[in-house]
Structure 1
Amino acid sequence: MTANTETLNEIFEHLHKNPELSWEETETTAWLKAFIESKGVSVRTFDDCTGLTAEIGNGSPVVAVRADIDALWQEVNGTFQANHSCGHDAHMTIVLGTFLELLEKRDQLSGTVRFIFQPAEEKGTGALKMVEKGVVDDADYLFGMHLRPFQELGPGEFAPAISHGAARLIEGSIRGDDAHGARPHLNTNAVQVGAELVMAINGMHFDPMVPQSMKVTGFQAGGKSANIIPGSAAFSVDARAQKNEVMDAMTSQFDRLIHMVADYHNIEISTEVKADMPAAILNEEATAVMEEGIIEALGTDACRPAIVTTGGDDFHFYTIKRPHVKATMLAVGCGLSPGLHHPDMTFDRSAIPDAVKVMTCAVQKALET
């Protein structure tokens, strides 16, 4: 238990009960700003987006710690609402806990620690905005974290890196004219086109040695009149691949598929990539520092090898856009179930103070390198 465990519980409860969607995290940003400023530390906010940064210490090296602050939009107990089913409420709590621990030692810090509270991770665009704002331009190290489902790590287990796969989220539209249900020869049924797309996507094959998947995750067509054949529809596609080059091959074939179906039916189908998260490029130095932090904080029994997961995170844009930054994400085992993005996701909150201990140790070790 850390000295701030009760405070961590209070922080988590507030953030958990007040989720906000990507790019709409205004109250979350304001609350974080007020909390940090109440500790005598100034913050930097932005005129054109949510999120903020704060720092303690001074000089080099600069070690940054990032938390994502947005929530998902999903149906919970029959009602659509914002929901922290990806654990970002816990991530913010861990970073604030690290902030509190290091604040007590600020006079002993041999460098600068920057805390980044990033919006819109779920959209895959928040990290790019923060890069644009220059928040890691002078950073030597960057640490993130993510709760892991029970299938990957057990309670009390931590891994020094997360090897995320690439993720590409695509939205598309089928545009045509409606027709009377008795005259199907007068239009192309958008529902039939959607079914063809699903079957064709399921028939795409790539290197089986590289984990990958592509699936239709949304499809809307038609209205309340069952005797109208819809000519238009909207759909979404989620693509995942463990390697960036496989992702490129998948989406290239998907594009050819879209053109083929559109030409065959003589209709218009358009697509747009709404989020594009790259696969992780692991940094050995940052991973080694995080491993030392786990062992020093919790002992060797708590440390596990780097996690490989097909999930994605826009955290990896920081190192792709700023290659000089040594970055890694702490994998936090916490008995998370039934799984990430499940509306009823739960986890063992006792993992939060342990994660704070690990992150605090890792930051201190990075400052000493």
Structure 2
Amino acid sequence: MLNEIIKNAIQENNEEMIEIRRKLHSEPELSWEEVKTSQFVYDYLTALGIECRKTEPTGVIGNLKGGKDGKTVALRADMDALSVEELNTDLPYKSKEPGKMHACGHDSHTAMLLAAAKALAAVKDEIPGTVRFIFQPAEEVATGAKAMVEQGAVEAVDEVFGIHIWSQIPTGAVACNPGPSFASADIFKVHFKGQGGHGAIPEDCIDAAVIASSFVMNVQSVVSRTIDPQQPAVVTIGKMIVGTRFNIIAENAEIEGTVRCFDAATRDHIEKQLEVYAANTAAIYGGTATVEYIRGTQAVINGEESALFVQQVASEAFGEASLYKEKPTMGGEDFSFYLDEVPGSFALVGSGNAEKDTEWAHHHGKFNIDEEAMATGAELYAQYAWAYLTK
């Protein structure tokens, strides 16, 4: 009975949810700058009678206490936009902020969780336990979840659940497979030191450009020749700054890249190998190397029991045909910091629709969502919370 009430509430508030998403889309705020967004969320939850508090500097945590005692389940949505220029110039709700855009769907995550909060608030007397709503800043810089955890976001929480809208799978599909979902995402920086000089006299120099170029080529064998082929990993060089002038042999070279994998031991191994490869490559040419390795997000590993429960909830709410088996992505997600503290899982809700041109990759300037997918996401949030607290 309550399942149908929740479903109906989501449908009745669908237009408002879309309006909220469009408002947030047109007013994007970057990581740690979500001042207006978080205030809007705080005011909305407060109006629903949900006890909430702000976290430093731009997060919001709400607690909906049910009419009966029970467990606590947390639902998380992220709120930040990206430094991306919107290319969907014909949208009536296009970004009003040049160079800023909700190019990853966080506007829809926020709107969906607010809609779920409204549906659950309407039946709070029947809820056995507490639903915690986590509206998180700064996911795009992989520091928001950690800050929320440090400020008590998952204290006394029994289970945590999150959703990401996903343009790569069909609208309305739900993917939540046990095991790896998102990879760990780290940054590394390498500085190579040579000896500069005139481009016409290479014998008196140590060319940092040659050192850096050799490293870029050689470092790929860390994955192809030192790691178990059954452990997926990616080492990508995304940035290289070398030299100052066409006829000067470079004395310095700076390289930046990223490492992605799912296994902790593989992660440790790659970090050590980057130092070995950098030092030895530089030594061959007579130069030196220093490596800075910055650990970002952990891998998102869905708990088996939780993920299977999400599948059960989705199947009952939307039909078994809604379940989709999406392969793990090498993308990063700081939802992992919640899973380090409590059990839970992270689901993908499809919004890809070729007819509506919503299959663009996340972080692209033409990214957009099929708004019909939002009802699925909002209901999944609410139905999961209700099912978990009553199981």
Give the structure-2-normalised TM-score: 0.83
Identity %: 30
Q: Distance in 2 between matches of 1:80 and 1:170?
A: 30
Alignment of 1:86 onto 2:104: yes
Q: Which residues of 2 match residues 233-244 of structure 1 at below 5 A?
A: 233-244=253-264
Alignment of 1:312 onto 2:332: yes
Alignment of 1:349 onto 2:359: no
Match of 2:22 in 1: 13
Deviations 1:78-130 (A, max 9, x none): x9833322222222122112112112222221111111112222222222222
Report if aligned partners of 2:145, 2:337 keep a CA contact under 8 Å in 1: yes
What amino acid does structure 2 have at the position aligned with 1:259?
A: A
Report if aligned partners of 2:51, 2:64 keep a CA contact under 8 Å in 1: no
Alignment of 1:53 onto 2:61: yes
Alignment of 1:263 onto 2:283: yes
Does the C-alpha gap of structure 1 residues 102 and 307 become closer, same or farther in structure 2, counting only changes over 3 Å?
farther
The alpha carbon displacement at 1:76 in A equals 5.4
Alignment of 1:293 onto 2:303: no
Q: Distance in 2 between matches of 1:283 and 1:233?
A: 43
Q: Distance in 1 between matches of 2:292 and 2:132?
A: 35
Report if aligned partners of 2:45, 2:52 keep a CA contact under 8 Å in 1: yes
Match of 2:382 in 1: 360
The alpha carbon displacement at 1:310 in A equals 2.5
Alignment of 1:69 onto 2:97: no
Does the C-alpha gap of structure 1 residues 175 and 51 become closer, same or farther in structure 2, counting only changes over 3 Å?
farther
Does the C-alpha gap of structure 1 residues 188 and 55 become closer, same or farther in structure 2, counting only changes over 3 Å?
farther
Q: Which residues of 2 match residues 300-339 of structure 1 at below 5 A?
A: 300-305=320-325, 307-320=327-340, 322=341, 325-335=342-352, 336-339=358-361
Does the C-alpha gap of structure 1 residues 87 and 187 become closer, same or farther in structure 2, counting only changes over 3 Å?
farther
Report if aligned partners of 1:92, 1:117 keep a CA contact under 8 Å in 2: yes
Task: Select which of 177, 184, 197 maps to 2:215.
Answer: 197
Worse overlay, 4-13 or 37-46: 37-46
The alpha carbon displacement at 1:279 in A equals 2.2
Report if aligned partners of 1:165, 1:241 keep a CA contact under 8 Å in 2: yes
Does the C-alpha gap of structure 1 residues 273 and 84 become closer, same or farther in structure 2, counting only changes over 3 Å?
farther
Cα RMSD between the aligned structures? Answer: 2.6
Worse overlay, 351-360 or 55-64: 55-64
The alpha carbon displacement at 1:317 in A equals 2.0
Report if aligned partners of 1:296, 1:361 keep a CA contact under 8 Å in 2: no
Q: Distance in 1 between matches of 2:176 and 2:284?
A: 50
Q: Distance in 2 between matches of 1:81 and 1:44?
A: 31
Report if aligned partners of 2:35, 2:58 keep a CA contact under 8 Å in 1: yes
Does the C-alpha gap of structure 1 residues 228 and 11 become closer, same or farther in structure 2, counting only changes over 3 Å?
farther
Task: Select which of 252, 263, 279 maps to 2:299.
Answer: 279
Report if aligned partners of 1:123, 1:274 keep a CA contact under 8 Å in 2: no
Does the C-alpha gap of structure 1 residues 186 and 12 become closer, same or farther in structure 2, counting only changes over 3 Å?
farther
Q: Distance in 2 between matches of 1:155 and 1:266?
A: 56
Does the C-alpha gap of structure 1 residues 195 and 84 become closer, same or farther in structure 2, counting only changes over 3 Å?
farther
Task: Select which of 220, 240, 255 maps to 1:219.
Answer: 240
What amino acid does structure 1 have at the position aligned with 2:52?
A: V
Report if aligned partners of 1:125, 1:275 keep a CA contact under 8 Å in 2: no
Q: Distance in 1 between matches of 2:167 and 2:310?
A: 20
Question: For 1:55, what is the secondary structure of its paired residue?
Answer: strand
The alpha carbon displacement at 1:143 in A equals 0.5
Q: Distance in 2 between matches of 1:100 and 1:280?
A: 28
The alpha carbon displacement at 1:178 in A equals 5.2
Give the structure-1-normalised TM-score: 0.88
Does the C-alpha gap of structure 1 residues 121 and 253 become closer, same or farther in structure 2, counting only changes over 3 Å?
same
What amino acid does structure 2 have at the position aligned with 1:350?
A: E
Deviations 1:170-226 (A, max 9, x none): 234345665444444554444333322210122332222222211101223345x54
Report if aligned partners of 2:194, 2:286 keep a CA contact under 8 Å in 1: no
Whose Rg is larger? 2
What amino acid does structure 1 have at the position aligned with 2:369?
A: F
Q: Distance in 2 between matches of 1:74 and 1:185?
A: 45
Q: Distance in 2 between matches of 1:81 and 1:230?
A: 34
The alpha carbon displacement at 1:259 in A equals 1.8
Question: For 1:362, what is the secondary structure of its paired residue?
Answer: helix
Report if aligned partners of 2:195, 2:208 keep a CA contact under 8 Å in 1: no
Q: Distance in 2 between matches of 1:194 and 1:366?
A: 53
Equivalenced residues, count: 361
Deviations 1:25-54 (A, max 9, x none): 33332332233233343422234x321211
Q: Distance in 2 between matches of 1:221 and 1:3?
A: 58
Worse overlay, 311-320 or 356-365: 311-320
Match of 2:252 in 1: 232
Match of 1:98 in 2: 116
Q: Distance in 2 between matches of 1:76 and 1:217?
A: 23
Unpaired segments ≥5 residues, structure 1: none
Deviations 1:277-322 (A, max 9, x none): 22233223322331222122211111234643232212122222x2
Q: Distance in 2 between matches of 1:29 and 1:212?
A: 36
What amino acid does structure 1 have at the position aligned with 2:76?
A: R
